[in-house]
Amino acid sequence: MNEVDLQALRRGDESAYRALVNEYHPTLFRLAMIYSPSRAIAEETVQETWLAVLRGLHGFAGRSSLRTWICRILVNVARRRAGLESRSVPFAALEEGDDAPAVSADQFLTSGPFVGHWNSERDDWSRLPEDRMLSQELQGVVAEAIDKLPRTQREVITMRDVEGWTAPEVSELLRIEAGHQRVLLHRARSRVRQALESYLTPAVPA
Amino acid sequence: MREMNCNELVERVTDCLEDALNPEELARLLDHLQVCQGCDSYFNEVLVTLKVMSNLPAKPMSPELEANLLAIYHDWAEGGVVA
């Protein structure tokens, strides 16, 4: 969306509005789902967000990009509806009972000259064919793993890795420090990778 | 310079991809990757995970929501009070 489109939107140009709504819907809906128990509630959140966007449109000063501004409104609406504080999460509240290592300690040697090294060979995922990587099957495993993450991790990984936003954009959207964001991103990615590993590695009978 | 172990590398992968390692840490990580097949595979697992996430399909908007969003806009454009 550029300045011309923004002018069109303010003028009441329906096609400009339709284009904007469609362009941002995937992002807004994914974000809304983080705070919503159902698709219907997430759609209500998206609708309330557009109401707030239109009300605020003439005052939009362009200090953030339009998409950051709209997504920020959604986060505030969604957090309020879910009964959450809309302020950022303090760093101390980060743990959420999740300080597990990226890889379970039982995958590493615990003694000998190679302590801390892998204790068995790893499957080579570079042999996964491209179409398997893009299959609904693996997408389902990954989507489910993301859904199960603690909320703050899910916010960060959704915006960074699913939506492809940059770290500074996500810091601005979620009002979190760069270091805090990296910790959340690391935990989230580690959990999602683990879910894929569990799925792709056939269980070895004990 | 102390060698990086595999169980340390797996905790530094994100910092590496986020460009948040200092030059010495980065050198230790890259040195280890060069000689460790397991960590090379692990690094690739993370990249595969990122690739799957970046290709997750979007859910289409429901017709009801689309209709509601248009109605909101028409009210707004007509200068009516948006309830």
- Look at residue A42 in the predicted model and tell me its pLDDT: 97
**Is B18 inside any structural domain?**
yes
B55 vs A: CB within 8 A? yes
Residue A62: pLDDT band with limits 50, 70, 90: confident
Residue A99 has pLDDT above 80, yes or no: no
- pLDDT above 90 coverage of chain A, percent: 72
Residues A36, A56: Cα–Cα separation, whole Å? 24
Tell me the average pLDDT across B12-35: 97
**Is B83 inside any structural domain?**
no
Residue B81 has pLDDT above 70, yes or no: no
- Dihedral (C-alpha) A194, A199, A202, A203: value to the nearest 10 degrees? 70
Residue B57 with chain A: CB contacts under 8 Å = 139
- Look at residue B83 in the predicted model and tell me its pLDDT: 46
B72 vs A: CB within 8 A? yes
**Which of B18, B19, B69 to mutate to probe the A interface, most A CBs <10 Å?**
B69
Q: What is the pLDDT of residues B25-44, one digit of tens each?
A: 999 999 999 999 999 999 99
Domain membership of residue B73 as a residue range: 6-77
When mean pLDDT is compared across A168-172, A197-201, B47-51, the lowest value belongs to: A197-201
Residue B18 with chain A: CB contacts under 8 Å = 167, 182, 185
Residue A98: pLDDT band with limits 50, 70, 90: low
Do A133 and B51 make contact, defined as CB atoms within 8 angstroms?
yes
Distances (CA, A) of A197 to A33, A88, A191: 25, 32, 10
**Is B43 inside any structural domain?**
yes
**Is B10 inside any structural domain?**
yes
- Look at residue A61 in the predicted model and tell me its pLDDT: 82
Question: Which residue in the set A50, A108, A186 is minimally distant from B6, CB to CB?
Answer: A108
Q: How many CA atoms lie within 13 A of A106 on its CB side?
A: 0
Of A20, A23, A5, A18, give the one whose Cα is nearest residue A163. A23
Please name the residue of chain B whose CA is at the shortest distance from the CA of residue A128: B48
**Is B12 inside any structural domain?**
yes
Question: Which residue in the set B8, B37, B82 is minimally distant from A55, CB to CB?
Answer: B82
**Is B82 inside any structural domain?**
no
Of A184, A175, A186, give the one whose Cα is nearest residue A153. A184
Query: DSSP assignment, residue A93?
Result: G
Whole-structure pTM value: 0.91
Residue A128: pLDDT band with limits 50, 70, 90: confident
ipTM metric = 0.92
Tell me the average pLDDT across A96-109: 84
**Is B29 inside any structural domain?**
yes
Residue A8 with chain B: CB contacts under 8 Å = none
**Comparing A93 with B18, which gets the higher pLDDT?**
B18
Residues A86, A93: Cα–Cα separation, whole Å? 14
Do A54 and B72 make contact, defined as CB atoms within 8 angstroms?
yes
Tell me the average pLDDT across A84-92: 59
**Is B1 inside any structural domain?**
no
Residue A1 has pLDDT above 90, yes or no: no
Number of folded domains that form chain B: 1
The mean pLDDT of chain A is 90
**Dihedral pair phi/psi, residue A160, rounded to 5°:** -75, -50
Residues A23, A86: Cα–Cα separation, whole Å? 25
Beta strands in A14-168 (DSSP E): none
Q: What is the pLDDT of residues A29-60, one digit of tens each?
A: 999 999 999 999 999 999 999 999 999 998 88
